Amino acid sequence: MIKRWLVRIYGVVQGVGFRPFIYNLASKYQLSGLVGNDTQGVFLEIEGSEEVLNAFVQQIPIVAPPMAVIDKIEIINTELPISMQSGFIIVKSQGAGDKQISVPVDTALCSDCEKELLTPEDRRYLYPFINCTNCGPRYTIIEALPYDRFNTTMKTFQMCPECAAEYNDPTNRRFHAQPNACWHCGPQVSLLDRQKNIIARGIEAIKQAGEFLSAGKIIAIKGLGGFHLACDARNSDVVKTLRRRKNREEKALAVMCKDINTLKAIVQTSIYSEKILQGPEKPILLLPKKDTQLLADEIAPVNPNYGVMLPYTPLHRVLFEFSPPYLVMTSANKTDEPIEYKNDEAVSNLNQIADYFLLHDREIKRRCDDSVATVFRDKLFMIRRSRGFAPLAIKLPEEFSHIIATGAEQKNVIAIAKGKDIILSHHLGDLENEEAYRAFEECINDLTSFLDLKPRLIVHDLHPEYLATKWALEQPVAKLAIQHHEAHIGACMLEHQLAEPVIGIAFDGTGYGYDGTLWGSEVFIGDGKDFRRVAHLLPIPLIGGEKAIREVWRLGYVLQELAGIKEKNANFNNRPEISIFKKMLSNHLNVFLSTGMGRLFDGVAAILNLREKITYDGQAAIELENIAYHSTKSIPLKLDIIQQEKKWFFDWRPLIQQISAYLRKGEAISTLAFGFHLAIANAINEICLLIRNQYGINKVCLSGGVFMNQILLRESVSRLEQDNFEVYWHQTIPCNDGGIAAGQIYLAYLRSEK
């Protein structure tokens, strides 16, 4: 029986080669009909025998193009009038209607394109902007939706006849590949010196850049979402120079490796991590170093890991034909500034850092940093969710539309809810920075216009001084404040689609609490609609507010002072500040109370003489973790839990006394650092047992920036599992403040009237 069906497909189905895919599949099944894009996704009319139609529809999700994400296939009508048309056609895009489409995401060079790229006979041989419907730039070049060439920064390039023919041929893998281009018609590269002289163009520019890199020069390279600073990762001198010029003395540098084998020579991989490294997103992965001398020591001193990635644009891939096999690829910026992404600004702002500039003339519409992740128990553990992942949607169980969440102050990411989608933006940075703040405002504008959002609710943090909060409060729509650490737990619950009572362990730096103090070691019980704070650290005074977070020796001092330790760490003695600190403490002069677990890590790092001041976020805690890997034995340290009026407190004073005593006895710092981690993991386990006994809750969510610490995560999860808890941790949403906006939206959803 011949039928004609109307079928709709929802999800990420535009700009990913979906229509040619349908065209080819329909031809294979010898169906007639049509396929087209509209604002809701893809629609098709297919005509043939019912069995074949059924088989065809079932086949779609199985063989869909790699970049497509199918949310739903809906058979709208099975009784369309039969047309007896012959053949299958692709119809023009249709504009109007409620926008349900998603914003397409940037995708790394695919294997088909890579093969062409390296084939000398191919007309795109070594062309650094080769792409197809399965790969190439998307989010970073879009100016408006629908995703068509004239709505991208590719609009200034007129396709040559050969490219146009591919673009218009439904059987070609470049059919409607919007950034389609070649040597004749597409973007071009050039190499500039510091005086802005063009010293080479085209393949010559890349070749020269490669040679300069081999010769120990630093090159600013315009990539997909911004500029990198690149240099030979094997050359200590140039790495040192880069660190000095960039004012980045200590933080580890990411390394791009020529190919997977080159990469495997320096880090330990697994089948899973290799799959991620070579997947369409190609994030930076933090993986354990192998014992080799291949790279300069200055890449990641004291760190057990390297941050590694594979070339994700054809430009990077071509560069490796001429350059050293290991390149430092660190985001190109001045200290604390967002990554450079415009040619002119990059050339002037990086003038003192880079020796040469490898530029191209395809404009980047919005900057997008590399995503950074690690692997925990063969799952991705996201640290910075950006390029390749943003703005992919996370699903809600039900509709929750027209909401904006403005996120946190640092590592800001915003979120938007539309339909059943939560769209997380790219990494926007620390909002106190003027450029990052501007990107924040632009991103809200862009995503609201792309998704045709009419905001009816804005969700924000409770912190009155966050610029994201202040922005929210100025908007003329309803507002909802979500406490920072509740949002962290909300993000973890969203990740696992939980809406039942959980124990939420939010171990974090500092966030604003309901009582006006700074929280950050919160143990909640609740289902997200509601949370009860049942445990936290005894407060730690931050002497001088933010200064205490940067100068962690203040924390070390105050911990020892309040733990009643007479013989303090020698480095705290005889400092002129101490007498003033005492008055500040007794008069509450610019002293803020914090229950932040991150502050306990910072203070212990200072007591162990690891660090007095930090030069980047979380440095003291990171170094405490790194040194702990060198521990050769375990010693029993304990974080006490005391109960007062139905609430528990982590009393850190005995722990500080133990650590101070061991230190005086000359115990190894690595051993103390490791013992400290175990004490925290044990305390997590212990508090969960106490809570389960009293409240019967068995699910535990671990969130907050402190859980980026892999020792703590590993030890906590294994202890909890041994006691048969169901443990949830973060995967694709970061546990740090990059996940706050996601949690804000999810809790707003759980708390909304339904």
Is 575 considered catalytic here?
A: no
Contacts with Zn ion in 609-648 (CB under 5 A)?
Answer: none
**Can you say whether the dihedral through the CA atoms of 277, 282, 285, 290 is positive or negative?**
positive
Please tell me the distance from the alpha carbon of residue 216 to that of residue 208, in angstroms, as a whole number. 12
Q: Does 334 bind other proteins (CB under 8 A)?
A: yes
Partner from Fe ion, Zn ion, other proteins, none binding residue 363, C-beta < 5-8 Å depending on class: none
Q: Which is nearer to other proteins, 330 or 631 (CB)?
A: 330
Contacts with 512 (C-beta within 8 Å, 6 or more apart), sequence order: 461, 462, 463, 464, 466, 483, 484, 518, 519
Among 13, 142, 218, 408, binds other proteins (CB under 8 A): 408
Q: Does 163 bind Zn ion (CB under 5 A)?
A: yes
Q: Binding pattern to Zn ion, positions 132-161, x when CB under 5 A?
A: x-xx------------------------x-
Binding part of the chain for other proteins, among 136-144, 231-239, 421-429, 436-444 by CB under 8 A, reads: 436-444
Binding part of the chain for other proteins, among 106-114, 313-321, 404-412, 689-697 by CB under 8 A, reads: 404-412
Categorise residue 520: left if φ over 0, alpha if ψ from -120 to 50, beta otherwise.
left
The phi, psi pair for 570, rounded to 5°, reads -55, -30
Q: Does 461 bind Fe ion (CB under 5 A)?
A: no
Q: Does 715 bind Fe ion (CB under 5 A)?
A: no
| Structure tokens given for 142 | 């879009």
Q: Does 675 bind other proteins (CB under 8 A)?
A: no
Shortest distance in whole angstroms from residue 483 CB to Fe ion:
11
Q: Does 612 bind other proteins (CB under 8 A)?
A: no
Q: Does 470 bind other proteins (CB under 8 A)?
A: yes
| Structure tokens given for 163 | 């490219």
**Nearest Cα to 57, choosing from 72, 67, 36?**
72
Partner from Zn ion, Fe ion, other proteins, none binding residue 441, C-beta < 5-8 Å depending on class: other proteins
Shortest distance in whole angstroms from residue 282 CB to Zn ion:
13
Q: Does 224 bind Zn ion (CB under 5 A)?
A: no
Task: Give DSSP secondary structure letters for 464-495.
Answer: TT-HHHHHHHHSSSEEEEE-HHHHHHHHHHHH
Cα–Cα separations (whole angstroms), residue 628 to 88, 383, 518, 676: 63, 21, 28, 9
Among 314, 511, 513, 739, binds other proteins (CB under 8 A): 511
**Nearest Cα to 44, choosing from 88, 101, 104?**
88
Binding part of the chain for other proteins, among 59-67, 427-435, 667-675, 709-717 by CB under 8 A, reads: 427-435
Among 108, 182, 472, 750, binds Zn ion (CB under 5 A): 182
| Structure tokens given for 712 | 């703590």
Q: What is the DSSP letter of 737?
A: G
Q: What is the DSSP letter of 92?
A: P
Q: Does 435 bind other proteins (CB under 8 A)?
A: yes
| Structure tokens given for 284 | 């930076």
Shortest distance in whole angstroms from residue 728 CB to other proteins:
21
Q: Does 584 bind other proteins (CB under 8 A)?
A: yes
| Structure tokens given for 338 | 């967002």
Among 116, 232, 298, 508, binds Fe ion (CB under 5 A): 508
Binding part of the chain for Fe ion, among 359-367, 654-662, 732-740, 741-749 by CB under 5 A, reads: 732-740
Shortest distance in whole angstroms from residue 413 CB to other proteins:
13
Q: Does 68 bind Zn ion (CB under 5 A)?
A: no
Q: Does 737 bind Fe ion (CB under 5 A)?
A: yes
CB-neighbour burial class of residue 538 (10 A; exposed 0-12, middle 13-18, buried 19+): middle
Binding part of the chain for other proteins, among 138-146, 279-287, 506-514, 560-568 by CB under 8 A, reads: 506-514
Contacts with other proteins in 347-386 (CB under 8 A)?
Answer: 349
Q: Are 110 and 132 in contact (CB under 8 A)?
A: yes
Please tell me the distance from the alpha carbon of residue 137 to that of residue 123, in angstroms, as a whole number. 20
Strand ranges (E), 639-682: 640-644, 647-651
Q: Does 507 bind other proteins (CB under 8 A)?
A: no
Q: Are 190 and 38 in contact (CB under 8 A)?
A: no
Long-range contacts of 341-347 (CB under 8 A, 24+ apart): 341/222, 341/225, 341/226, 341/227, 341/366, 341/367, 343/222, 346/220, 346/222, 346/227, 347/192, 347/196, 347/220
Partner from Fe ion, Zn ion, other proteins, none binding residue 185, C-beta < 5-8 Å depending on class: Zn ion
How many alpha carbons fall within 13 Å on the CB side of residue 536? 28
Contacts with 189 (C-beta within 8 Å, 6 or more apart), sequence order: 128, 201, 202, 205, 206, 315, 358, 359, 360
Shortest distance in whole angstroms from residue 372 CB to Fe ion:
17
Shortest distance in whole angstroms from residue 205 CB to Zn ion:
19
Q: Which is nearer to Fe ion, 232 or 737 (CB)?
A: 737
Is 151 considered catalytic here?
A: no
Please tell me the distance from the alpha carbon of residue 694 to that of residue 692, in angstroms, as a whole number. 5
Q: Are 546 and 594 in contact (CB under 8 A)?
A: no
Q: Does 600 bind other proteins (CB under 8 A)?
A: no
Partner from other proteins, Zn ion, Fe ion, none binding residue 60, C-beta < 5-8 Å depending on class: none
Active-site option among 4, 37, 138, 234: 37
β-bridge mates for residue 649, sequence order: 536, 642
Partner from other proteins, Zn ion, Fe ion, none binding residue 434, C-beta < 5-8 Å depending on class: other proteins
Binding part of the chain for Zn ion, among 66-74, 130-138, 194-202, 316-324 by CB under 5 A, reads: 130-138
Q: Does 434 bind other proteins (CB under 8 A)?
A: yes
Q: Does 242 bind Zn ion (CB under 5 A)?
A: no
CB-neighbour burial class of residue 685 (10 A; exposed 0-12, middle 13-18, buried 19+): buried
**Nearest Cα to 558, choosing from 531, 577, 533, 535?**
577
Q: Does 184 bind Zn ion (CB under 5 A)?
A: yes
Residues engaged in binding other proteins (CB under 8 A): 247, 334-337, 349, 408-411, 431-435, 437-438, 441, 463-467, 470-471, 474, 484, 508-512, 518, 520, 542-550, 576-577, 579-581, 583-584, 587, 589-590, 592, 594, 598, 617, 705, 736-737
Residues engaged in binding Zn ion (CB under 5 A): 110, 113, 132, 134-135, 160, 163, 182, 184-185
Residues with a catalytic annotation lie at 19, 37
Residues engaged in binding Fe ion (CB under 5 A): 508, 737
